Amino acid sequence: MRVNLLDLDAGAMQRWFASIGEKPFRARQVLRWVHQRGAQDFDAMTDIARSLRARLAEGAEMRAPAIVGDSTSADGTRKWLLKVDGANAVDSVYIPETGRGTLCISSQAGCTLDCAFCSTGKQGFNRNLSTAEIVAQLWIANRLLGRKQGAARPITNVVLMGMGEPMLNLDALIPALRLMLDDDAYGLSRRRVTVSTSGVVPGMDRLAEECPVALAVSLHAPDDELRDRIVPINRKYPIRELIRACNRYLEHAPRDFITFEYVMLDAVNDSAAQARALLPIAAKVRCKFNLIPFNPFPHSGFERSKPETIRRFAEILQRAGLTVTTRKTRGDAIDAACGQLAGKVADRTRRTSARRVAIPVREAA
Ligand code: SAH
Ligand code: SF4
């Protein structure tokens, strides 16, 4: 089988070129063609000798998932559904904002971690994506968004907030991240690439060592009792350990804070008392909060917190001096909001709804 160049970061590409007796600088040249210019075949690579192009065409290819869905919502949010194999599809979402464009990408088809409020978790786990399948999301989006001459790049930020737990697929993710950062590929700064984790501590340590980028941590609860229930990985790595891991991460991170994501679930984790209970946690690590209004999906068993509740929750944190942003719900009509991907399309629910009702509803505070 031909080698898929989308699987290779610069180092791997150079090694592959060496293995076919070519000079390493050719690898960089090809890297630029593939990623900066989005070349889909070798004929396009006009500054490369015809003989080398022919050799490349024999031994290599750019093999990306097929685009099986492409929808744009009224606010400009665009979602692609990519078929990664006969049974699985993942999506990526482009969110344009003034002055920046964020691409939200997936790292796994499905997820093993089964957070109570997550539609990806409800689908069960299918498999890890390869480096090529992760990078292809960027490669495809760049091509379809186009890049007008002289205009700013459409994609300025990448967030690993689509399907899957990135820290459980670091072998494939790290080379993909390196390509995102590589000036000969996507040239994004480390601060503009964000990995989101539900708190897989060993993965955080490894990422810090091997490829530190901005980090978002899905906190979602102020105490272990509740977090154990809605983010089950907490039973393995409880909040105390998670915070220690955040502090270790910050020693390497390109930003001097961790972003805590906090999904706003009506009458589950959104009381004033729970906001106050976050303060001692926030005191232990430099952090910002990103409140995410829950994106409902059928039979989730949860509801989105009321806007007024979210506002009050934010205010308590802000009064304590914390920086808080509340995520705008975007792309609702196409189910493209980050954190709720592929739910409708791949409705292959394997987990029974019985698991979902285990969340007792707290008395309103
Ligand atoms: N597995 C990683 C990254 C993917 S999920 C993680 O859990 O962090 C990206 C974010 O979306 C996480 O904070 C996740 O908790 C949140 N999320 C999942 N389902 C959601 C939903 N239905 N509504 C709002 N946010 C959700
Ligand atoms: Fe997996 Fe993240 Fe969904 Fe939890 S929230 S099930 S870790 S994708």
The whole-number pLDDT of residue 244 equals 98
3-state secondary structure string, the chain? CCEEHHHCCHHHHHHHHHHCCCCHHHHHHHHHHHHHCCCCCHHHCCCCCHHHHHHHHHHEECCCCEEEEEEECCCCCEEEEEECCCCCEEEEEEEEECCEEEEECCCEEECCCCCCCCHHHHCCEEEECCHHHHHHHHHHHHHHHCCCCCCCCCCCEEEECCCCCHHHCHHHHHHHHHHHHCCCCCCCCHHHEEEEECCCHHHHHHHHHHCCCEEEEECCCCCHHHHHHHCHHHHCCCHHHHHHHHHHHHCCCCCCCEEEEEEEECCCCCCHHHHHHHHHHHCCCCEEEEEEECCCCCCCCCCECCHHHHHHHHHHHHHCCCCEEECCCCCHHHCCCCCCCCCCCCCCCCCCHHHHHHCCCCCCC
159, 196, 325: residue to mutate for ligand 1 pocket, most atoms within 8 A of CB = 196
Q: Which atom of ligand 2 is closest in space to residue 164's alpha carbon?
A: 8
Q: CA 358 from chain center: how many Å?
A: 27
- Residue 164 makes CB contacts below 8 A (sequence gap 6+) with 90, 106, 107, 108, 109, 110, 111, 120, 128, 129
- Residue 321 makes CB contacts below 8 A (sequence gap 6+) with none
111, 227, 228, 263: residue to mutate for ligand 2 pocket, most atoms within 8 A of CB = 111
Answer for the pair 106, 91: CB distance below 8 angstroms, yes or no.
yes
Answer whether 164 contacts ligand 2 (Cβ < 6 A): yes
Confidence of residue 243 (pLDDT cuts 50, 70, 90): very high
159, 263, 291, 335: residue to mutate for ligand 1 pocket, most atoms within 8 A of CB = 263
Does residue 50 register a pLDDT over 60?
yes
15 C-alpha to ligand 2 centroid (Å): 35
Answer for the pair 131, 184: CB distance below 8 angstroms, yes or no.
no
For atom 4 of ligand 1, the residue with the nearest CA is: 161
For atom 9 of ligand 1, the residue with the nearest CA is: 161
Q: What is the pLDDT of residues 305-343, one digit of tens each?
A: 999 999 999 999 999 999 999 988 766 656 654 555 443
Answer whether 261 contacts ligand 2 (Cβ < 6 A): no
The whole-number pLDDT of residue 147 equals 66
The whole-number pLDDT of residue 224 equals 98
The closest ligand to the CA of 295 turns out to be 1
CA dist., res. 77 & res. 335, Å (int):
10
Answer whether 292 contacts ligand 2 (Cβ < 6 A): no
Q: Single out the residue of 222, 226, 225, 93 nearest to residue 160, CA to CA.
A: 93
Q: What is the pLDDT of residues 143-163, one digit of tens each?
A: 999 866 566 789 999 999 999
149 C-alpha to ligand 1 centroid (Å): 36
118 C-alpha to ligand 1 centroid (Å): 6
Q: What is the pLDDT of residues 259-286, one digit of tens each?
A: 999 999 999 999 999 999 999 999 999 9
Strand partners, 291: 262, 326
**CB-based burial label for 222 (10 Å; 0-12, 13-18, 19+):** buried
Q: Which atom of ligand 2 is closest in space to residue 119's alpha carbon?
A: 3
Residue 287, phi-psi category: left (phi > 0), alpha (psi -120 to 50), beta (remainder) = beta
Q: Which atom of ligand 1 is closest in space to residue 163's alpha carbon?
A: 4
The whole-number pLDDT of residue 150 equals 60
**Chain position carrying tokens 């941590």:** 217
20 C-alpha to ligand 2 centroid (Å): 41
Q: Single out the residue of 90, 216, 78, 65 nearest to residue 162, CA to CA.
A: 90
Q: Which residue did the predictor score with more confidence, 352 or 51?
A: 51
Q: Single out the residue of 44, 336, 42 nearest to residue 161, CA to CA.
A: 336
Q: Which atom of ligand 1 is closest in space to residue 339's alpha carbon?
A: 11
Q: Which atom of ligand 2 is closest in space to residue 108's alpha carbon?
A: 8
12 C-alpha to ligand 2 centroid (Å): 30
Structural tokens at position 43: 């004929």
Per-residue pLDDT, averaged over 199-228, amounts to 98
Longest dimension (CA), the chain: 73
Q: Which atom of ligand 2 is closest in space to residue 231's alpha carbon?
A: 4
Answer whether 118 contacts ligand 2 (Cβ < 6 A): yes
C-beta neighbour count of 89 within 10 angstroms:
22
Does residue 76 register a pLDDT over 80?
yes
Q: What are phi and psi of 6, to 5 degrees?
A: -70, -15
Per-residue pLDDT, averaged over 104-117, amounts to 96
CA dist., res. 211 & res. 176, Å (int):
10
90, 122, 161, 302: residue to mutate for ligand 1 pocket, most atoms within 8 A of CB = 161
Q: How many residues does the chain have?
A: 365
The whole-number pLDDT of residue 357 equals 30
Q: Which residue did the predictor score with more confidence, 278 or 121?
A: 278
